[in-house]
Amino acid sequence: MNRFLTDNKDNWQRLEDLLSMLSTGSLRSVSRLEVRELGELHRRAAADLAIARAETRDPKLITYLNNLVIRSHGKIYRAESQGVGLIWRFLRDEFPATFRKNWRYMAVSFGVFAGFALFGFIATWADTDFTHFVMLSGITEQITSNHEWWKRLNDANQVGATSILSNNILVTFRVFAMGAIFGIGAFYDLAFEGARLGSVFAACYKLNPPFGNALATFVVGHGVIELSTIFSCGGAGMMIGYAMINPGDLTRGQALKKKGIEAARIVIGCACFLVVAGIIEGFLSPSDLPAAVKIATGLGTGVAMYAYLGLAGNSPAAITDEPSR
């Protein structure tokens, strides 16, 4: 009995100390090393409790260990159930702070898309056969016949919104994944999609200007958020690709881990934005509401999104991977 107490009392005291540190806070108030230590000491205390119950008849020791295990169990598993708090902290701090920290990648991504959109517009204005080069075969016939293909959502908005949302998330994830190929894959995907967008608008305005206005009115409501998420996910992929090329002072594995965590935050945050864009594109964009409403929606959601990304998450802990102390 005395040897059992001598061998384990230091561990019990250390567990008491950690629980005292956590008495006024959550697991985020201690370091990761201390969190791991808490879990290990909790498991040891649970094993010691089983031994005490089986081999001793000391009710005070059993009661003490039982209370210690209950307290440590509560701290550990209460933290695991704080899902809403984790989501709120991610949206409030981590996502916008990580976005700002890596804004240059997003700017490069935007530049690639916008540059090739301009190229696609000019090339199609010069020769509408360019639409075939960007896999838009048959688009000129639809334009000249006033076939507004986006109007197909009017009769089944709920189904359309779900389909659009799924497609948009797949596109952004693809752009992100392609970026991991040393950044080259994202460059290609962004360039191709930009050229397609520029090409279809050039064909519309050259062959049937009112049709071009109708398409622009459809796109403007959801386009700011939707295109911004594509740029952002492309930039997130480039972050990983560049970390492989130039890890800086870190090892390549360390650089990939660091940028991988940051890129994942950006992609997850963009998926949340896409929910909003999908709802707008499925319900408002194909509707018969005035163009002014759709333009106001596009401008309003764009301003709100970039204000959030630029202003939220300004606490120093928001841009680190370590828990705040």
3-state secondary structure 257-282: HHHHHHHHHHHHHHHHHHHHHHHHHH
pLDDT at 158 over 50: no
pLDDT at 193 over 90: no
pLDDT at 46 over 70: yes
pLDDT at 186 over 90: no
Top pLDDT among 222 and 25 is at 222
**What percent of the chain clears pLDDT 70, i.e. is strictly above it?**
82
pLDDT confidence of residue 321: 46
CA distance 144 to 178: 35
Can you give the residue ranges of every domain in the chain? 2-81, 92-314
Q: What is the pTM of this model?
A: 0.67
pLDDT confidence of residue 159: 44
| Token pair 């497609």: residue | 167
Query: 205 pLDDT band (50/70/90 cuts)?
Result: very high
pLDDT at 224 over 80: yes
Query: 182 pLDDT band (50/70/90 cuts)?
Result: low
pLDDT confidence of residue 198: 92
Query: 73 pLDDT band (50/70/90 cuts)?
Result: confident
User: Average pLDDT for residues 169-188, to the nearest whole number?
Assistant: 73
- When mean pLDDT is compared over 64-68, 237-241, 301-305, the highest value belongs to 301-305
CA distance 68 to 61: 10
CA distance 265 to 5: 47
Q: Could you tell me which residues come within 8 angstroms of residue 295 by beta carbon, excluding any fewer than 6 positions away?
A: 217, 220, 221
Identify the sign of the CA torsion 309, 305, 174, 238: negative
User: What is the pLDDT of the chain when averaged over all its residues?
Assistant: 81
pLDDT at 192 over 80: yes
pLDDT at 30 over 70: no
